[in-house]
Structure 1
Amino acid sequence: MSGSNVPPASSGATAGIASVTLLGMTAMGIALPILPQRLNGDLGYSLTIVGWIIGLESIATLLSRPWCGHLTDRRGGRFAAIAGLIAMIFCGLTYLASDFLMDYGAAGRQAAASLIVLGRIFMGIGEGLVISGTGLWAVDRAGPDRVGRAVSWVGLGLFAGLALGSAFGAWLDHGQPGGFALACAISTIIPLLGTGAALVIRPGTAARVHDSAPVAPLLSVILLPGLGLFANACGFAAITSFLALDYRAHGWAALPLGSAGVGIAGFGVGHVTARLLFSDLSDHVRSRWPVVTCLLVEALGLCMIWLAPTPLMALSGAVVTGFGFSMGYPLLTLPVLAAVPVVRRGMAFALFDAFFDTGAGFAALCSGTVAHYLSLPRVFLIAALVSLAGIIPLLMVPAMRWRRETPEG
């Protein structure tokens, strides 16, 4: 059984696994404030196309989820996480190569765009492997009484990495010659460091029996919480895909408050703050209402960005959105893990995370259309409405699923 002969991890081991997540997501975050400008401002693509290219990462993650789940269950979380970090290294290399082609006329710019698309695919696969891998790795090592804390810490590493990476990427690319290339080079080095960190932390024990059971029974227990996660992801996607362009449309560019990277980092600050305050909550909660509250707070923050007349209010909205978004994932995993056998947790994580990918990809694609035909601020209004709609399926999850007993078969 997964984790059956591995003693529960110390807090240091769990923090180490979270640090692997942090390094991978920092590499991902560096590109968030600079890619929309590169695609829209430098390459001249419309906001709709920008949304498609940004959302392509989530599509790649979604399509690779079943394979990621099988790999994680068979080879263990650490193996999957390292494979994901290697994919992120290739992503950074493709971004870096695209920058060198920008000076070679129209053909060079077209080739650069193609490489960025390829990089988004690499990053999508890498993201899926790192998140599923480190999630199962941490849960494997934590033991049944600390599952919620393990998921919370991995999520803390995930969004702390996004926040750090976004702020760092914006600073590197802020009007500096060669800033994009420098950001891409650093985003290649960081997952290499994560690989080294992963190799020194003991793995959990993978379930070695090949599991060919159908996924339909898993989907049946994941569906309703997954729809809540879908809604939860829309606010995240709206901010990471279009906050930078919203800032530019308002003419907010001056550091410190006017930088889009600071706005995205504000989302990360709100997320990290909530995780630090409530990291143990998911091990004690026995009802749906905390996660319902999370969606309400996320919607409030998105509405603040929609109505923001100043960068300070937009930053405040991003912080509130991150705070509300933060605990959604660990709280929503509870009714899922309550009904999933231990040997299928890797696949369960992969399928559950697929709802996040679908929500993020859907929001990025639709946000591009909304921004093109309506206005950029209304992207955040639509995301807020979707967050509120996510409450409905959570009200349909049987109450006893929140008062869970994790199966061991």
Structure 2
Amino acid sequence: MTRPLMACAGACFLSLGLLIPTIPKYVTGPLNQGPGLVGGCLAITAVCAVLFRPPAGRLADRRGRRAAACTGAALLTITSFAVLMVESLPLFLACRAVAGAGEALTYVGLATAASDHDRPGAAINRFSIAVNAGLLAGPALAEVGHSVAGLRAVWALSGAVALAAFVACLFLPAGPVVAGDPAGTRKAGPLVHRAGLRPGLAYWASVWGYTAFSAFLPLHVAALGGSGSGPHFLVYGGVLLAVRLGGQRWTNRMDPRGTATAALLVTAAGLALLVAWPSVTGALAAAAVIGAGQALGLPAFLTMAVAGLPAAQRGSAVATTTAFFDLGFMTAALALGAIVQSSGLTYGFAVAGCVPALAPLLFLSRSRKTRRTSPQGDSRDHSHR
């Protein structure tokens, strides 16, 4: 099951990755808008993704994982091809809003399908590898496509890749379907699942570290006299994929709570390195450390969210946890932007590092409760070792 799932995830997120450098160029080029509107387009997509994650989880639980993933891939296909016919800013913004819903449906459907595997921790890790591979390959491929055939060709390629993902998603197992259970022996989870809140908050803290790195590293490198931040992002992506590929056997044997704690502390250490070693070389080292921390985080957070839950509630838990990515990105971008504006990059990195450094405190009460209630630990936390 994991190979078809990885193919679907890789294709869906390659379609999204193609648009990372394309949207700013399209807004400031054919639409003739200022750079400030680029942020508005990204914000609209993120807000819609947050709003649609809970319904996406409900759809994945009630109608099956395949239904959620196919619906999301269809929306991504439609919105990419629609841009080829869009001439006005309002219609383009509408397309980006619908694309946010498509991203939420696709991600939740496929991540929940990974949680149905008999070894969910390993399957979620492979799913995340496919997601990151698509997002990392997309911008480079988009730059080549733009230079050879122009922006419209990149939008068309994004739509074609999303269409291929839609076709691939049709062959996924449907997964548990609550609506087809007339006896009521399975109950779908709520729109916001309690099991996803604690790992979701940890994910939110981790995303603060990622946002500080991705948004402000180019400014940091430029201030240090560097020629560009491209090598730093290349190191970050390479380390992230290497840790997920090479370390999956080790992480699959660990308690996901321990892996999540390590992810948060390593991310915090990378941000501290940006402050303590203000040089281009130091920024390269920090990129590697942050990449390792981010590699460990997402699989652990999702595994924690679904551990011990019935299959018919995992979509809700996955949706709740992953909604914190968009919330973390938006809150960190706004808060850190204000801090950097008033106090400088060093203070911004320091504050961003404090958030993941303190986040492991979220797991302390859970650990104490586990030791009190069972001398062997909570079976939910050990089911994915």
Alignment of 1:3-22 (within 5 A): 13-22=1-10
Aligned residue-pair number? 369
Contact 2:188 2:312 in 1 (8 A): no
Contact 1:55 1:360 in 2 (8 A): no
For 1:359, the equivalent position in structure 2 comes to: 328
Deviation at 1:247, TM superposition (A): 6.6
User: Which of 126, 132, 139 pairs up with 1:166?
Assistant: 139
Greater CA deviation, 201-210 or 275-284?
201-210
For 2:104, the equivalent position in structure 1 comes to: 128
Indicate yes or no: 2:220 matched with 1:230.
Answer: no
Contact 1:51 1:368 in 2 (8 A): no
User: Which of 51, 54, 65 pairs up with 1:63?
Assistant: 51
Indicate yes or no: 2:73 matched with 1:85.
Answer: yes
Check 1:407–1:272 CA distance in 2 against 1; reply closer, same or farther (3 A cut).
closer
Alignment deviations for residues 33-84 of structure 1 (CA, whole Å, 9 cap, x no partner): 34456657973244xx654542332221111122101111122112211111
**Cα distance in 2 between the residues matched to 1:300 and 1:184:** 38
**Cα distance in 2 between the residues matched to 1:293 and 1:337:** 19
Alignment deviations for residues 295-337 of structure 1 (CA, whole Å, 9 cap, x no partner): 1222233455566643x65455334322211121221234332
**Cα distance in 2 between the residues matched to 1:16 and 1:237:** 31
For 1:321, the equivalent position in structure 2 comes to: 290
User: Which of 182, 189, 193 pairs up with 2:164?
Assistant: 193
Check 1:386–1:43 CA distance in 2 against 1; reply closer, same or farther (3 A cut).
farther
One-letter amino acid matched to 2:113: W
Indicate yes or no: 2:33 matched with 1:43.
Answer: yes
**Cα distance in 2 between the residues matched to 1:243 and 1:31:** 21
Deviation at 1:131, TM superposition (A): 1.4
Indicate yes or no: 2:154 matched with 1:180.
Answer: no
Deviation at 1:227, TM superposition (A): 1.0
**Structure 1, gaps ≥5 residues long:** 1-12, 102-110
Alignment RMSD: 3.5
**Cα distance in 2 between the residues matched to 1:342 and 1:281:** 25
Check 1:121–1:376 CA distance in 2 against 1; reply closer, same or farther (3 A cut).
farther
Contact 1:94 1:119 in 2 (8 A): yes
Deviation at 1:163, TM superposition (A): 1.0
**Cα distance in 1 between the residues matched to 2:77 and 2:286:** 33
For 2:260, the equivalent position in structure 1 comes to: 291
Secondary structure at the counterpart of residue 280 of structure 1 = helix
Contact 1:297 1:320 in 2 (8 A): yes
Check 1:263–1:127 CA distance in 2 against 1; reply closer, same or farther (3 A cut).
farther
For 1:148, the equivalent position in structure 2 comes to: 121
For 1:384, the equivalent position in structure 2 comes to: 353
One-letter amino acid matched to 1:405: R
One-letter amino acid matched to 2:206: N
Q: Percent of aligned positions with the same letter in both sequences?
A: 27
Alignment deviations for residues 76-123 of structure 1 (CA, whole Å, 9 cap, x no partner): 11221111112222332355456xx4xxxxxxxxx34x4453343223
Check 1:166–1:348 CA distance in 2 against 1; reply closer, same or farther (3 A cut).
same
Deviation at 1:366, TM superposition (A): 3.4
Give TM-score scaled by structure 2 length.
0.81
For 1:10, the equivalent position in structure 2 comes to: none
Alignment of 1:325-364 (within 5 A): 325-364=294-333
Check 1:373–1:349 CA distance in 2 against 1; reply closer, same or farther (3 A cut).
same
Contact 1:287 1:403 in 2 (8 A): no
User: Which of 13, 37, 42 pairs up with 1:25?
Assistant: 13
User: Which of 356, 365, 377 pairs up with 1:396?
Assistant: 365
**Structure 2, gaps ≥5 residues long:** 372-376
